[in-house]
Structure 1
Amino acid sequence: MQSVQPAARSGPRGWSDEAVRLIEADTRRSADTHLLRYPLPSAWCEQADVALYLKDESTHITGSLKHRLARSLFLYGLCNGWITEGTTVVEASSGSTAVSEAYFAALLGLPFVAVMPSSTSRAKIELIEKFGGRCHFVESSGEVNAAAHRVAEETGGHFLDQFTNAERATDWRGNNNIAESIFDQLGDERHPVPSWVVVGAGTGGTSATIGRYIRYRGHPTRLCVVDPENSAFYPAYVQRRRDITTGMSSRVEGIGRPHVEPSFLPTVIDRMVQVPDAASVAAAHRVSSVLGRRVGPSTGTNLWGAFGLLAEMVAAGTSGSVVTLICDSGDRYSDTYNDDAWLAKHGLAPERHTETLDEFERSCVWPDSAPAAR
């Protein structure tokens, strides 16, 4: 990516003012992501007049929902005076967040370092390096956060710290955030105010933004957060505790954490659903087949939760719409979640859950086995 560095401006904040302008101009050029209507079987969805929409975040220039978070974190750092000309920007991430942050660092001509485990796949490393980022490796995922703090201190840089700052950095009242965009795009639909919005939690920033916006605007919409196995968010929500730890990493990339992150706000959530990891894979494969293009595993987690809510609405004869997200493209996972041998090796074979999806499409029946907390 060719760097477009901020031009010199007069005054003590000249560089920072120009940096903010560059990010805002980039946002205007990229417009907004699409809201797709997912085709539901007419044989049963007419019983309750329901609709399902997918907010396609994979169309951002960096390919994922994390593009919004990265933009917000950079603006937050700039406007707080933490990022200035020449600042080395640091993040603890080996995934989509680091890819998007590397893009914005390059836009501003700033050095970017992503701290990650040495086991990180070459494909992810190459995506970060594509935008000019540098990767700093540690032995285990448990060392990443401390190492990021250390790199920032050694370089005199700024640690973006997505897991702490995600909910703080995003303007939840509007300003074309993802919540405002969803409701605007639904404006001319049959059900312009959705019954449910379904999202996963990685940092907790997206769920916090949407949950706050719903309350700020006084919408009757409810927020459902879906969570994979091994994540601390679901048990923390059920037990109303923040000291939950699982000691294990999520197998669904981009969502789930082994402990409760500061940006996770359970008080804005109306329901949580724990989704089996293999079910996330099955749903991702099914949606990829329906849309004719691959989606990532966290999108599968979202859809598994959305399908369950739709079945519940149809069974109750309740009309309305459900909205969820396409988080990123499945092309990033060609050698993992889209590889049968890799799935079998990791105990993620989706066949049993594929049968559930087949039955759902035939009859809109959904199993009661998936845990849900209200």
Structure 2
Amino acid sequence: MTGDPVPPPGAWAARALGRLAADAAPTPLRPLRLPALPELELHVKDESAHPTGSIKHRLLREQFRAAVEDGALAGGTPVVMGSGGAAAVAGAYFARLVGLPFTAVLPRTAPAAVRARIERYDGRCRIGELPPAAVLEEARALAERTGGHLLDHFAAAAGPPDGPGPLPGLAEEILAGLRGARHPVPEWLVAGAGTGATAASLGHHLRSHRLPTRLAVADPENSAYFPAWASGCADYATGMPSRIPGIGRPRTEPGFRADLIDLVVPVPDAASVAAMRWLHTTAGLACGPATGTALWAACHLAARLRSEGARGGLVLVAGDGAEPYRTTHLDPGWLAAKGLDPAPYEALLERFARTGEWAWPRPAD
């Protein structure tokens, strides 16, 4: 016989669960100063500090844990995903962590940087032949042919209707980090929505613990979530892809729990880029465009609180880091080609931090 001996199933599962548990370190909660609003505290829950740089890391770790515990994953099981973004990167990371082969079926539009990051974690990439929206079905077929296990992070994000959501610990970490702050129970939590998992987990915690904190979802252009929430139409679809990776969807995903959300704030894509850049230059936090979307919404809510004469805290979830976007959202040429001009929105943010004045940029004549 050649090769390493295969451990019995129980031993493999115990080892895999131990490695997954060891990965579960809390992420930082960072203060963000707004000089003109001393009565308000703004904090950033920095999920970009995860090893793979996004909040999808937390979701995929939980998905791997559940699959190992229920026996869907065992030693040698091929793992397959249909995704072209941060979720597939996190999937490759955790597959390597527990010693399983990993393949991501990517849409043809997936950036080369995403493929490189998946391969960095020993994952394999296949380019889907069908339209981008169909890569999940291609991944499902591949898993069936190879005897593998399909990781569907959108299905996992839905969770049980009345359950705590698929991201246990996120709300607890935020509230634990605020102990000792002037406002340990914030007025608002702000997050983006891709699968809907983050908002659902936060909202369920707030409701089940009867906290007065309100939950806002920041939504980019083309996304179905704002019109779905505003209209009450649970299956609303726009059919248009989001230009802000990781959040916004052309359809309302099962994990989006409108009943747990107090407000959805639509955010222009150029404002998301402006807020991302402003966060880096002002606070030294190199976060991605989805974080910019959440920051813009948080500033909007801070301005509302100020106009009401209220005091309190706000926490935004920074769901992504800046590194994957060096050749896209951080590249002036790419922005110009997409018709995105963040300059007016950056000026608004700078004025807001300095004076507290919040006024939307006037459209060009």
Sort the TM-score into its range (normalised by shorter chain): over 0.9
- Paired amino acid for 1:215: R
SS in 2 for 1:223: strand
Deviations 1:110-137 (A, max 9, x none): 1111111123221110001100111111
- Paired amino acid for 2:255: S
CA RMSD of aligned residues (A): 2.2
Q: Counterpart of 1:247?
A: 239
Deviations 1:142-197 (A, max 9, x none): 22121111111111111111111124289838996111100011011110001000
Contact (CA 8 Å) 1:234, 1:272: kept in 2 or not? yes
Contact (CA 8 Å) 1:171, 1:177: kept in 2 or not? no
Deviations 1:59-81 (A, max 9, x none): 11111111101101101211222
Residue of structure 1 aligned with 2:178, choices 173, 177, 186 = 186
Is 1:39 matched up with 2:33? yes
Between 127-136 and 348-357, the greater mean CA deviation after superposition = 348-357
- Paired amino acid for 1:37: P
SS in 2 for 1:13: helix
Contact (CA 8 Å) 1:173, 1:216: kept in 2 or not? no
* Cα distance change, pair 6–183 in 1 and its aligned pair in 2 (3 A): farther
Q: Counterpart of 1:319?
A: 311
- Paired amino acid for 1:351: A
Output the CA distance in 2 between the equivalents of 1:66 and 1:174. Answer: 11
Output the CA distance in 2 between the equivalents of 1:175 and 1:203. Answer: 12
* Cα distance change, pair 146–369 in 1 and its aligned pair in 2 (3 A): farther
Q: Counterpart of 1:201?
A: 193
Within-5 A mapping of 1:154-303? 154-168=145-159, 172=164, 177-303=169-295
Residue of structure 1 aligned with 2:67, choices 74, 77, 82 = 77
Output the CA distance in 1 between the equivalents of 2:97 and 2:272. Answer: 34
* CA shift for structure 1 position 22: 2.0
SS in 1 for 2:249: coil
Contact (CA 8 Å) 1:196, 1:323: kept in 2 or not? yes
Q: Counterpart of 1:143?
A: 134
Within-5 A mapping of 1:116-155? 116-139=106-129, 140-155=131-146
* Cα distance change, pair 175–56 in 1 and its aligned pair in 2 (3 A): closer
Q: Counterpart of 1:21?
A: 18
Residue of structure 2 aligned with 1:99, choices 86, 89, 106 = 89
Output the CA distance in 1 between the equivalents of 2:285 and 2:265. Answer: 26
Contact (CA 8 Å) 2:291, 2:317: kept in 1 or not? yes
SS in 2 for 1:321: strand
Output the CA distance in 2 between the equivalents of 1:259 and 1:173. Answer: 20
Q: Which residues of structure 2 form unaligned runs of 5+?
A: none
SS in 1 for 2:264: strand
Output the CA distance in 2 between the equivalents of 1:111 and 1:307. Answer: 43
Output the CA distance in 2 between the equivalents of 1:108 and 1:164. Answer: 22
Output the CA distance in 2 between the equivalents of 1:130 and 1:121. Answer: 15
Contact (CA 8 Å) 1:89, 1:158: kept in 2 or not? yes
What fraction of aligned residue pairs are identical, expressed as a percent?
Answer: 43
Output the CA distance in 2 between the equivalents of 1:148 and 1:365. Answer: 49
Contact (CA 8 Å) 1:226, 1:275: kept in 2 or not? yes
* CA shift for structure 1 position 54: 0.3
Output the CA distance in 2 between the equivalents of 1:369 and 1:270. Answer: 26
Output the CA distance in 1 between the equivalents of 2:246 and 2:213. Answer: 25
Contact (CA 8 Å) 1:211, 1:268: kept in 2 or not? yes
Output the CA distance in 1 between the equivalents of 2:167 and 2:288. Answer: 27
* CA shift for structure 1 position 85: 1.7
SS in 2 for 1:52: strand
TM-score by length of 1: 0.90
* Cα distance change, pair 34–171 in 1 and its aligned pair in 2 (3 A): farther
Aligned residue-pair number:
357
Output the CA distance in 1 between the equivalents of 2:344 and 2:165. Answer: 42
Q: Which residues of structure 1 form unaligned runs of 5+?
A: none
TM-score by length of 2: 0.93
Output the CA distance in 2 between the equivalents of 1:173 and 1:247. Answer: 26
* CA shift for structure 1 position 201: 0.2
